[in-house]
Amino acid sequence: MTRIARLVLDTSAYSRFRAGHPEVLERIAQADVVHIPSTVLGELYGGFGLGRRERENRQSLAEFLDEAFVSVLPTTPEVAERYGQIYVGLRKRGRPVPVNDMWIAAAVIDCGGHLLTFDSDFRSIGSLSVTIVDA
């Protein structure tokens, strides 16, 4: 497994991390830094609010975000511009993907990171450095 300096987790990868998925745990352990895009935080908080263990899930996420090697990727004007480029490119090719996935991809590209996901929609975004793990 190749070492990745800037690993970015999407919602599916974070969820598998919490479930103890061995490949996700190994990739996180090998990364220099782990990023969580703010869009992923929104998806996670939404899921927590609909679940039965909201307090526990929020606490676990807060503890993870407090780790020295973890940082949150903000949605900046530069990320918004990359989102626009991804959106236009996918629309022109007739290959739309969910809006949040485009925001996540834009954040990954902007920070020069590598996305870890279980979501094959990201395959459509050609300029994205990504590992799609089979579920």
pLDDT tens track for 45-96: 999 999 999 999 999 999 999 999 999 999 999 999 999 999 999 999 998 8
Q: How far is CA 65 from CA 24, 38, 72, 80, 88, in A?
A: 16, 12, 8, 23, 32
Domains of the chain, first to last: 6-132 (3.40.50.1010)
- The closest of 101, 130, 135 to 118, measured between CA atoms, is 135
pTM of the entire predicted model: 0.95
Q: How confident is the model over 40-44, as a mean pLDDT? A: 98
Say how far apart CA 108 and CA 114 lie, in whole Å.
7
Q: What is the pLDDT of residue 134?
A: 87
- Show Cβ contacts of residue 1 under 8 Å, excluding neighbours closer than 6 positions: 26, 27, 30
